[in-house]
Amino acid sequence: MNLEKEIEKRRTFAIISHPDAGKTTLTEKFLLFGGAIKTAGAVKQNKIRKSATSDFMEIEKQRGISVATSVMGFEYAGRKVNILDTPGHKDFAEDTYRTLTAVDSVILVVDSVKGVEEQTERLMEVCRMRNTPVIIFVNKMDREGRNPFELIDELEEKLEIGVRPLTWPIGQGQNFQGVYNLYRKQLNLFEPDQTRISEHFIEIRGTEDPELDRWIPSAFCDQLREDVELIEGVYEPFSARHYLEGSLAPVFFGSAVNNFGVREMLETFIEIAPPPHEREAAERVVNAAETPLTGFVFKIHANLDPNHRDRTAFFKVCSGKFERNRFYHHTRLGKKMRFANPTQFMANEKNLIEDAWPGDVIGLYDNGNLKIGDTLTEGEELQFRGIPSFSPEIFKEVINRDPFKAKQLEKGLRQLTEEGVAQLFLQHGNRKIVGTVGELQFDVIRFRLEHEYGASSDFTPLRYFKAFWITGKDRAQYDEFLRRKSPVIAEDKEGHPVFFAESEWMLNVAKENYPGVTFHETSEFKTEGSGS
């Protein structure tokens, strides 16, 4: 099929939010609209299973939170939609940051009761760094929450982005009547029913249409007319160009658990969201419409299927056409690789595919050759940018509780840290230190080591402030630094030296005493001089 047609057909986006804002519920509703699942509200009714479709890890089911990124696809209105559902918990922000490198746009879910929360701000910073187009869905309008005007003011102020409401709520909480679609001049009446899709759309000719008074109590009609007049007077008309540039976020209101207000957003998203486009590599910018295949690995997950100790690399196609059983060039290893069983996902269900196109995310079975950030091409030497590891903030030494399972522990730690769950540092021979950005990651690692690898482990806290990758502009200073600081030097899994700063004061002293050494907060640094 024509490459340009396949590109135009695709929309690849991530859903991001603070925990409990309703992100995973919204994901399920999209799958319902796309026909990928048959029953709305299946989370609560156990008609799929006891957890949401996108939460496939046992620990996620037990805790009711997403700790891994799931990839799902469905077709709607002639488009192939790829959703990446991300962890909401702040301890797994790094996984979300990497996921945002693989999408063309984002839907940000905000809780109408709590408003903009800290994690929402941090996620939005990453979107702004990449000028990623963002649509905002204000969820839980059927609960007593914040005033809508207060909310959109807070969205603008805290997220540092222009906003433009495209739907507007009529009432709230127990008095929630529905939403008025400013974009399409439609009225959608609220029916609190979690088991089906709301179809009660009424075409009206603006808020002055007398038809409005037939459906909405007069007090709510008057308030809606007043609100819409204020919106149209204060906000510029919606600009698709500003949205695509990442400077303007359209805002929708609804209730994900009741499937309400979701269709308006989905249909507008299908219309305005960008198809796959260019992506920056170290060597050049790659356009999606180029014929040769290029793409990169942004996530690795072991044991997606507990019955087959598998290891799957999540691969984003950037240009060209991916074909099963064709040889591709692995640029880091400099060797050819062929994939006999590429898959596409519907959460934990995997389907074998013959081909994939720009924007698609596919699973590649891996026996240890692929790592996060790896690039595949048809021969060109390329390395896609922007998939770094971040400096951890919590450090613990790994203690093996069962000496007879040392090999299982070794394998489990290596695979889990290659997934990006945490970072592994080796010190003084065989001392293993795990670094994370949050405590919850240690619970996940301990749980998965025991249940997936049969290894028992403990973690002893270490009093380090932060870890820094180091390179040297001055070889003599660099060598002296490594020698004098050897008790707090380790190597990452690539063999790069890392300095554990015991405090901010100690870090500043080190920088002052060794001006020829550079301290990096992410692994995405360029090799500097002979010292690295």
**pLDDT tens digits for 78-103?**
999 998 877 655 545 566 777 888 89
**Ramachandran class of 204: left when φ > 0, alpha when ψ lies in -120 to 50, beta otherwise:** beta
In what order do the strands lie in the sheet containing 517-520?
457-462, 394-400, 431-436, 423-427, 489-491, 497-501, 466-472, 517-520
Tell me if 108 sits within 8 A of 39, measured CB to CB.
no
Q: Among residues of the chain, what percentage have pLDDT more than 70?
A: 85
| Whole-number Å distance between alpha carbons of 488 and 486 | 5
Give phi and psi for 216, each to the nearest 5: -120, 135
**pLDDT tens digits for 482-496?**
999 999 999 987 888
Give the count of beta carbons closer than 10 Å to the beta carbon of residue 476. Answer: 10
| Whole-number Å distance between alpha carbons of 122 and 113 | 19
Q: Give me the pLDDT at residue 310, please.
A: 67
Q: Give me the pLDDT at residue 250, please.
A: 96
Q: Give me the pLDDT at residue 468, please.
A: 92
Read off the tokens for 437: 């950005």
Q: Give me the pLDDT at residue 36, please.
A: 60
Q: What is the mean pLDDT of the chain?
A: 83
Closest CA to 81 of 6, 11, 135, 3: 11
Paired with 16 in beta bridges are 108
Q: Give me the pLDDT at residue 199, please.
A: 57
Q: Which domains does the chain have, with CATH numbers?
A: 3-272 (3.40.50.300), 279-377 (3.40.50.300), 394-520 (3.30.70.3280)
| DSSP H or E segment with residue 320 | none
Q: Give me the pLDDT at residue 526, please.
A: 44
Token look-up 């702040």 returns: 90
What distances in angstroms separate CA 486 from CA 253, 356, 427, one per listed residue? 56, 48, 9
Which pTM value belongs to this model?
0.78
Beta strands, E only, 103-232: 105-111, 134-139, 162-165, 167-170, 178-181, 186-189, 201-203
* Stretches in the chain below the pLDDT threshold 70: 1, 36-69, 87-95, 192-200, 302-310, 346-349, 386-389, 429, 524-532
Q: Give me the pLDDT at residue 348, please.
A: 52
Q: Give me the pLDDT at residue 194, please.
A: 52
CA angle 248, 153, 92 (to 5 degrees): 70
Closest CA to 425 of 485, 499, 342, 375: 499
